Amino acid sequence: MAALIPFRPAPSPGLRAIPGHRPMSDDKYISIEGIARRYPAPGGGRTTVFEDLWLPMRRGEFVCMIGHSGCGKTTVLNILAGLEAPSEGVVIAAGREITGPSLDRAVIFQGHALLPWRTVLGNVAYAVSSRWRKAGKAEVEERARAAIATVGLAGSEHKRPAELSGGMKQRVGIARALAIAPKMLLMDEPFSALDALTRGTLQDEVRRICLETGQTVFMITHDVDEAIYLADRIVLMTNGPGAQVAEIVENPLPKARDRAALHHAPGYYALRNHLIDFLVTRSRSFKDARPADYDPRHPPVVRPTLSDSDAAAIAASA
């Protein structure tokens, strides 16, 4: 199996946190600093879902978090959104501690969460009028229509969510998030309820929109291929309780990705196998077989480079 993991841990990038001094840089646009989530366990004591979680995110970066159910992925996202507070630690966004929800961070919910009594336009306009409170009706509608057109739903503005397919509903959810021109998008398994075909189309859309607008994105997924296609970096969470960031995988695939040819790209299968190996075995065994130099403040960054054997194989086949 080791031959299938042609990745070498890269030295940690120089992102040492300096206590009491938090420079706001593009390298640390969002910084998760030592957060934990604990709740009272039945029969006394406390259960720790995850702890000592550190993760910096760059501006304009697409980060996917992968892990099994129960590792607290959704809680991490909710903390980033400001919907929940961590039991310990803080999250810094653009130089400020997150203390509550903000219009700067738009959330795309797993179950689309559209207001069923409003039309498509009404749902998006609700977000727009919340963002620009003093905007006139015409301006709100114009912005809402523009966002709806971006996700390819022009013409369906007056439909109600119940009249839309699952994929269209999630498009409205994306339009609602984009309409408020957020600085960051948070997505909680946004496509998990969709069929494979719709999921693919929406992944393409999200990728295009995020590249065009330079969004910083944090997305939770359990779909390895989705993470490979979309992410710049993939955060691997160990199993809960007591989950931790096992490592951060930098996606070696070029930024210009073609879905159809993705599985032919050099390094694709190695990356995929690495992720699946993690989910199948290492997410469970990591706790017991922790590397000696593991530092939760600086989880190992795995920068995929072709292994010698892979390089040799490619050379031989040429």
Burial 232-267 (b: 16+ CB within 10 A, else e): bbbbbbbbbbbbbbbbbbbbbbeeebeeeeeeeeeb
Q: Tell me how far, at minimum, the Cβ of 75 lies from other proteins, in Å.
A: 13
**Does 82 participate in binding other proteins (rule CB under 8 A)?**
yes
Q: Does 137 bind other proteins (CB under 8 A)?
A: no
Q: Which of 131, 159, 222, 257 is in the footprint of other proteins by CB under 8 A?
A: 131
Q: CA-CA distance, 93 to 105, in Å (whole number)?
A: 9
Q: Does 96 bind other proteins (CB under 8 A)?
A: no
Compute the CA torsion angle 205, 209, 210, 211 (nearest 10 deg).
Answer: 100
Q: Does 94 bind other proteins (CB under 8 A)?
A: no
| CB of 100 vs other proteins, minimal distance in Å | 8
Distance of CA 103 to the CA centre of its chain: 18
Q: CA 234: distance to chain centroid? A: 8
Tell whether residue 101 is a contact of other proteins (CB under 8 A).
yes
If binding means CB under 8 A, how many residues of this protein chain bind other proteins? 24
The candidate with the shortest Cα–Cα distance to 28, out of 67, 74, 53, 60, is: 60
Q: Are strands 7-10 and 105-108 parallel, antiparallel or unpaired?
A: unpaired
Distance (Å) of CA 277 to CA 19, 268, 285, 308: 36, 14, 11, 20
Question: Binding mask 41-60 vs other proteins (x if CB under 8 A, - otherwise)?
Answer: --------------------
Site for other proteins in 154-173 (CB under 8 A): 160-162
Choose which of 13, 97, 117, 312 interacts with other proteins (CB under 8 A).
117
Residue nearer to other proteins on the CB measure, 45 or 100: 100
Specify the residue, 115 or 149, whose C-beta has the smaller distance to other proteins.
115
Cβ proximity to other proteins: between 74 and 305 the closer is 74
**Tokens encoding 247:** 């490592």
Residue 33's φ and ψ, nearest 5 degrees, are -125, 95
Structure tokens at 176: 């609602």
Identify which of 240, 187, 191, 176 has the alpha carbon closest to the alpha carbon of residue 218: 187
| Spatial distance between the Cα atoms of 1 and 151, rounded to a whole number of angstroms | 42
Stretch that binds other proteins, among 109-117, 224-232, 271-279, 309-317 (CB under 8 A): 109-117
**Considering the rule CB under 8 A, would residue 106 count as an interface residue with other proteins?**
yes
Residue 192 binds other proteins, judged by CB under 8 A: no
Residue 183 binds other proteins (CB under 8 A): no
Pick the closer one to other proteins by CB: 175 or 227: 175
Say whether residue 304 binds other proteins (CB under 8 A). no
Least gap, CB of 95 to other proteins (angstroms): 19
What is the binding site for other proteins (CB under 8 A)? 81-83, 100-103, 105-107, 109, 111, 113, 115-117, 126-127, 130-131, 160-162, 180
